[in-house]
Amino acid sequence: MKNLLFGLAALALLAACDTIENPVPAKVTSTLTAAEQTALDAAETQLPAPPDEQRVLIEDYTGQYCGNCPRAAHLGDSLQRAHPTRVFTTEVHVTDYFAAPRPPHFPIDFRVSAVAQELDRLFDLSTRGLPQGAVNRTPFAAANNDPVATFALWPQVVAAQLAQTPAVALRVTPVFNAGTRVLNLKIGTEYRRALPGRNLRLGIVLVEDSLVGAQKDYRLNRTQFPDQTAEQYVHHNVLRAALAGTFGTAQVTGPAAGQRFATYLGYQMPAATVWNVRKCAVLAYIADADTRQILQVTMVEL
């Protein structure tokens, strides 16, 4: 068993569930004690192992000033409801034009700054315009094999990804201390088959559901809503922190079939007035460092 301990400066963003404030700092601890690791091992044995099946992550690149983005979010939510244990979505707010605050009406910054900037550079999101999205960051054949495409193309790639045989088994065990608000995590990885020459990375992010704020929404009737703005729009599974960086941290090169890893991580959650833990979840994924494509993903609510 390989023990990877992260000492990363994570960025926390946004706020609680019903009201949202601007960013506050959060911390990732550098080590876990032997007792904390043992507690995670014990907790893992009490949880059912996830089914051995391929799962899919839809990254919905969005912004509060993007009037077409609610359509994309609605489709992503529909795909997740159709496959509740196999398809996961996260709203990732990106670009200065669509996601930056515009006081006084749009005072909130939903972005995780470093993540938003790196994704914008990689996928040229400011130039493309929104909404855009990635499905396991796999190429869209109908978009010239681009890993990012408009939401109309998501269902086809979701179906293709779900039909695959998984190369990786991934499991997340959380232990949250309500008194200290420390979240300890164990992420277990097992490679089902050999992947020679592949450089694999482990990504870990936190999302929070049901964040409320103003949102441009072109679905709204102009007569009733001249600005086409929803004042109490509910954002689902908003990216709040990337605990292993935007693209994860290195785990293994060329894993053998049956090779296993265990990663232990401690995270200091912000105050209850900032994040509603009951609405938070952990997303973990294994991705190819060279292509960015996600091989497997899982989500566990806290």
- The model's pLDDT over 134-147, given as tens digits with 9 standing for 90+, comes to 999 999 999 999 99
- The model's pLDDT over 192-244, given as tens digits with 9 standing for 90+, comes to 999 999 999 999 999 999 999 999 999 999 999 999 999 999 999 999 999 99
What value does the mean pLDDT of the chain take? 90
Examine the pLDDT at 256 and tell me if it is beyond 90. yes
> What is the pLDDT, as a whole number, of residue 31?
72
> What is the pLDDT, as a whole number, of residue 258?
95
> What is the pLDDT, as a whole number, of residue 14?
29
- Residue ranges of the domains in the chain? 3-301
* Beta bridge partner(s), residue 90: 59
> What is the pLDDT, as a whole number, of residue 124?
96
Check residue 237 and give left, alpha or beta (phi > 0: left; psi -120 to 50: alpha). Answer: left
Residue bearing the bigger pLDDT, 273 or 240 = 240
C-beta atoms surrounding 243 within 10 Å:
24
pLDDT range class, residue 28, cuts 50, 70, 90: low
- The model's pLDDT over 87-124, given as tens digits with 9 standing for 90+, comes to 999 999 999 999 999 999 899 999 999 999 999 999 99
35 phi, psi to nearest 5 deg: -65, -40
Examine the pLDDT at 10 and tell me if it is beyond 50. no
Examine the pLDDT at 20 and tell me if it is beyond 90. no
* Beta bridge partner(s), residue 233: 213
Mean per-residue pLDDT for 41-52? 92
Mean per-residue pLDDT for 142-167? 97
DSSP code per residue over 224-283: T-TT-EEEEEEE-SEEEEETT-TT-EEEEESPPTT-EEEEEEEEEPPPTTT--GGGEEEE
- The model's pLDDT over 63-84, given as tens digits with 9 standing for 90+, comes to 999 999 999 999 999 999 999 9
pLDDT range class, residue 266, cuts 50, 70, 90: very high
Rounded Cα gap, residues 57 and 238, in angstroms: 13
Of residues 82, 52, 260, the one with CA closest to residue 164: 52
Residue bearing the bigger pLDDT, 65 or 31 = 65
> What is the pLDDT, as a whole number, of residue 11?
28
Which DSSP symbol is given to 89? E
> What is the pLDDT, as a whole number, of residue 49?
87
